[in-house]
Amino acid sequence: MNRVTVLISLIVCIFTLSACKKKNPDIAYYNKVNEIDSIYRMADNPELAIAEYQKLYKKYYPKNQENRDEYEKYITLAEGKNIDFGGKKSLYKLIDLIAPYGNRYKKYLPLFKKYGIDSTEVKKEMADWKKGLNKTLIDSFTVAMMRDQEGRYDDTILMAKNVKKNAALLMWTFDKYGFPSIEKMGTIGNNDVFFAMPTFLTHMIESKEYYPYIKKKLLEYVKSGDCLPRDYAIMVDRENINNNKPSEYGYTLMIDIQDSAQINRNRKSIGLPSLKHSAKIVRDYKDK
């Protein structure tokens, strides 16, 4: 085999590997999920939705956004239609995605059992997932979440000090660990403290010194798939309320939406569903 042939073979091999490599979820992923979600939720075409999900998960690692629960939906839709969703291998991925949510796994025990995964194995997988979390972040944000509520609305001086401390922690986290996502620290901290990230991020607006940088970094993390678009949008629209500006993403109940078309464009730019689609998701979630 001559050098040219070897070189061509090497290039083909590299191209094949790169083409097959899955990506982490990003804005393109979110928008595709929104498109697929509307196929079964609004157009009532589950078979097409399943086919589109299959294509999506060949390109991306799965994610499970709140209210949409897209990977759960894919598996349950496919199972209901007797369509192959990847069997045990895909169910292990599902376990990792629902591990942060306590007893949520229980409703899937019959499905796990059908594919040879008993409850003991499920609990072991969840325990292994928990062991992989960042203990430093869990400890730090447990304190931060408690601090975030100290003196709120009662002691403005203490509140301002706490916001400054938490903003500094957030920027330190960005620098050392990236965005403090569910994948890194779960949803519950020490002593059952809930990581209320949307509320926590919204309070960063009060830090005049650090907020512009935090806002810029969060948009970067939205684009990389680390920060949920919803959390960023809620924060930005709260800022708009505070400054008597129009809503950008439609998360401001206190401000009338004047240009829904522009808001829908803004929402799509960060991977959020349209206002109409979002309202349907919320209604369906409440009707569960």
Of 97, 131, 165, the domain-final residue: 131
Distance between CA 110 and CA 28 in Å, rounded? 33
Residues 140 and 267 in one domain: yes
Using the Cα atoms of residue 241, residue 245, residue 246 and residue 248 in order, give the sign of their dihedral: negative
Given a cut of 80, whether residue 102 has pLDDT beyond it is yes
**Of 106, 102, 37, 20, residue with least CA distance to 74:** 37
Q: Note the pLDDT tens digit of each residue in 75-100.
A: 999 999 999 999 999 999 999 999 99
- Domain residues for the domain of 156 are 135-286
Residue 244 lies in a domain: yes
**Of 104, 166, 95, residue with least CA distance to 128:** 95
Q: How many folded domains does the chain comprise? A: 2
Residues 76 and 157 in one domain: no
Query: What average pLDDT score do residues 238-248 get?
Result: 91
Residue 204 lies in a domain: yes
CA distances from 15 to 7, 8, 11, 18, 19 (A): 12, 11, 6, 5, 6
Instruction: Give me the pLDDT at residue 284, please.
Output: 86
Residues 113 and 218 in one domain: no
Residues 65 and 172 in one domain: no
Q: What is the pTM of this model?
A: 0.88
**Of 68, 67, 114, residue with least CA distance to 90:** 114
Residue 19 lies in a domain: no
Residues 6+ apart with CB under 8 A from 174: 217
Residue 44 lies in a domain: yes
Instruction: Give me the pLDDT at residue 13, please.
Output: 42
Residues 159 and 96 in one domain: no
Residue 262 lies in a domain: yes
Residue 8 lies in a domain: no
Residue 153 lies in a domain: yes
Given a cut of 60, whether residue 1 has pLDDT beyond it is no
**Upper half-sphere CA count for residue 254 (Cβ side, 13 Å):** 10
Q: Name the pLDDT band for 255 (thresholds 50, 70, 90).
A: low
Q: Note the pLDDT tens digit of each residue in 158-200.
A: 999 999 999 999 999 999 999 999 999 999 999 999 999 999 9
Which residues lie across from 188 on neighbouring strands? 194
